Amino acid sequence: MSMERNNVATMSAGALQTLMEIYGEDVWNYAFFLSRSSSAADDIAQETFIRAYKYMHAFRGEASVKTWLLRITRNRWYTYHSSSFMKRVTLLAAPDSTRTAQSAENAYMDESLSSEVWQLVLRLPRKYREILMLHAHYEMTMEELAHTLNISLSAAKSRLHRARQKASEYWEKELNGNG
Amino acid sequence: MARLPHDWEKRLQESPFADRHFTEKLQRNVNRRLNHPPQRKLRRWIYAAVILPLVALVLVIGYSSGGFSSLTGRPDHGAVSSGENSPDPGAAGTQSPALSFPSADPSGDEVQLPLVAVLAVPSVDDGYPAVRNPVPALPEMTFPLSAEMADQLQATLVYGADGKSSYLLLSPAGWVASAVIGANGSYGLTFTDPADPAQTLAYTDTNWSCQGCAISDIGLYFPEKADWAEDSGFPVYVPLHFKSRELLGTGGAAGRTVRYALQPDKDGLLADGAAYYEEGSWGYLIRRIELRHASGIPENAAMESILGFFAAVHGALILPESGPESGEADPAPYSTSDLLSTLEQQG
């Protein structure tokens, strides 16, 4: 942890490059699972590293570098999602959100996923796919989940439990739908 | 029926994608943006060079055509207002006749509260003159109050300049009211304690407009509806930290009414409030009232009456819409004295 902190606190352009090489995919994947859009994930991931470089002094070593970057990613996604542009797009798209046909990009990304379990997670509502990803993939502890998601510890446990239930429901529903 | 593989969460430890997506090109973009930040100063000068002549042109045209008369203080009979609630001196907050409420004590006398009239104005002037509408008749009050409320509360009649959106609320006595009607038809009212402006009482009604606002607020104040709100495309991003929360019933309107208290904010102010929502085939509405106050102020009994009145009538007491008395609109602007004299006539 202390070495990580030192590396970040003295981040140079070379260190930033190393950081992007090590954590770039993690940040991009998290951004993608939040936004379900590869173009949004491109933007959010770039913004995350720019932000990390500019505000490296804010890293206090209380969490791992990866967790710190994922929190920045979440904030960048939130800003991105709350922007007036996104709101306009979302409002226009909202009535159509129940459609079953996927866009070409969604279909391509869905097929690119490495397993059907990831495909299942991607279909879950945002708060469930997010907590599953943070817990199962990024191996965050309950305390880290609660801190990252800005919710209480009990709420984090409850949400993770609900996410597992939802995943199971979706799995069975899809099997029934396909079968 | 097949179940999820027992090790499905372990499979999530693998990378979701076989390919890399944070490519070298994206990494180069990051470096380029850090090394060459946007030329904001130059951009500002360019914007200034384009915008300033345009602003000057608009000002010249505006003043020469008299379009800014409302800003220069000249009377303009066409304008509703410049966005304030009391275009005439003494309009908002002017003391009016008292309003009688039944006593909570069966053997007690009626409780008289001061009636304050507040003129709500549209936040967006539609360019048409204000219409003289009759003040809506005030129904007999049925909400019981204890005798000591006579000194602690006031009844506030919010009267829309458009003849719509008239409603009645209880608030702490002496608090200054400011009401507005949003461009989308939603409306609201904020009371401020003149002795401590941080203490406020805010009321809002989405009035079947702004469905996104209504759905996300329903998800926020009724966490049991949060999943529905998210499925509707309006997730709750930052949930409220309720200190206490109670649904007032299990069905009907009471099941859609909640009383709550929030944890103290960073300034130490407490928030006590209530929310009520409706679902119609045409959409959703939510009404909310929230009192932000320092501990113990105002007295608990007064707060209970304010929030109890909201819960009893599911929001503010909506008064019937009033139209022009004649078939045609009277172009004369509605004045405060008209409003008060009519209130006096109605007792």
Contact between chains at B235 and A171 (C-beta distance less than 8 A): no
Residue B268 confidence (pLDDT): 81
Q: Is B27 on the interface with A (CB under 8 A)?
A: yes
Q: List the structure tokens of B233.
A: 């495309």
Kindly list the residues from chain A whose CB atom is less than 8 angstroms away from the CB atom of residue B19: 112
Percent of chain A at pLDDT above 70?
74
Query: pLDDT grade, residue A140 (50/70/90)?
Result: very high
Contact B239 A151 (CB under 8 A): yes
| Distance from C-alpha of B81 to C-alpha of B270, rounded to nearest angstrom | 34
Q: Which range has the worst mean pLDDT, B83-87, B112-116, B205-209?
A: B83-87
Q: Mutate which of A137, A139, A166, A169 to disrupt the B interface (most B C-beta within 10 Å)?
A: A137
Q: Could you tell me where the DSSP H helices lie in chain A?
A: 2-9, 13-35, 38-54, 65-82, 84-93, 104-112, 116-123, 126-132, 142-149, 153-178
Cβ contact B30–A49 (<8 Å): yes
Minimum mean pLDDT range among A146-150, B75-79, B245-249, B324-328: B75-79
Q: Check residue B321 and give its pLDDT.
A: 66
pLDDT at residue A175 is higher than 60: yes
User: How does the average pLDDT of chain A come out, rounded?
Assistant: 79
> How far is Cα A146 from Cα B52, in angstroms, rounded to an integer?
49
| Nearest by Cα to A150 from B263, B240, B208 | B240
Predicted pLDDT at B105: 83
The pLDDT assigned to B64 comes to 66
pLDDT tens, residue by residue, A68-121? 899 999 998 888 877 645 444 444 344 334 334 446 666 777 777 778 889 889
User: Which segments of chain B are extended strands (E)?
Assistant: 94-101, 111-122, 153-160, 167-172, 176-181, 187-193, 196-205, 242-247, 257-262, 270-280, 283-293, 317-318
Of the listed ranges B51-60, B134-143, B149-158, the one predicted with least confidence: B134-143
Amino acid type, B1: M
Mean pLDDT of B186-203: 87
Q: Which of A101-110, A158-167, B236-245 has the lowest mean pLDDT?
A: A101-110
Residue B267 confidence class, pLDDT cut points 50, 70, 90: confident
Mean pLDDT of chain B: 76
Give pLDDT, residue B343.
58
The pLDDT of B170-184, averaged and rounded, is 82
Chain A: residue nearest B19 by CA?
Answer: A112
Q: What are phi and psi of B138, to 5 degrees?
A: -90, 125
Which chain B residues contact residue A151 at CB under 8 A?
239
Dihedral, CA of residue A44, residue A46, residue A47 and residue A52, to nearest 10: 120
Residue B81's pLDDT band (cuts 50, 70, 90): very low
Instruction: Please name which of B343, B335, B341, B284 lies closest in space to residue B319, comparing C-alpha atoms.
Output: B343
**pLDDT recorded at residue B170:** 93
| pLDDT band at residue B275 under the 50/70/90 scheme | very high
Q: At residue B345, does pLDDT exceed 70?
A: no
Q: Indicate the pLDDT class of residue B194, thresholds 50, 70 and 90.
A: confident
Higher pLDDT, A20 or B181: A20
pLDDT at position B257 is: 94
Lowest-confidence segment of A2-16, A21-35, A138-152, B220-234 by average pLDDT: A2-16
Cβ separation of A125 and B8 shorter than 8 Å? no
Domains of chain A, each with CATH number or no CATH: 1-104 (1.10.1740.10), 113-179 (1.10.10.10)
Chosen from B13, B14, B21, B227 to mutate, greatest number of chain A CBs within 10 A:
B21
Distance (Å, whole) CA A36 – CA A166: 18
List CB contacts of A27: < 8 A, sequence separation 6 or more: A44, A45, A48, A49, A69, A70, A73, B22
